[in-house]
Amino acid sequence: MAENQTPLPENTWKCSNCGNTVVTVRPPDTCPVCKQKCEFLNVTCYQPGCGFTGMDNRLKPAK
Ligand SMILES: [Zn+2]
């Protein structure tokens, strides 16, 4: 087993169509929820200002 390779960090991807989030290295081609070929936005946030929720609050829809 080659354990020397540093694995790619997982990112949080948000479907621009339905808002579903997927945590994976790369965004899927097709959203598993809405079954559309969506654009996935990387909403991963590693900054303390985000409260370590894993999500960038600036990318959340304002209500
Ligand atoms: Zn979707």
Tens-digit pLDDT profile for residues 5-49? 777 778 889 999 999 999 998 999 999 999 999 899 988 876 656
Its pTM stands at 0.63
CA of 15 to the centre of ligand 1 (A): 5
CA of 2 to the centre of ligand 1 (A): 35
Residues 6+ apart with CB under 8 A from 28: 13, 22, 40
Size of the chain, expressed as the number of residues it contains? 63
Decide: 50 and 57 in contact? Cβ < 8 Å: yes
CA of 7 to the centre of ligand 1 (A): 26
Instruction: Give the whole-angstrom CA distance, residue 6 versus residue 45.
Output: 20
CA of 9 to the centre of ligand 1 (A): 22
DSSP run (H or E) holding 23: strand 21-24
CA of 27 to the centre of ligand 1 (A): 11
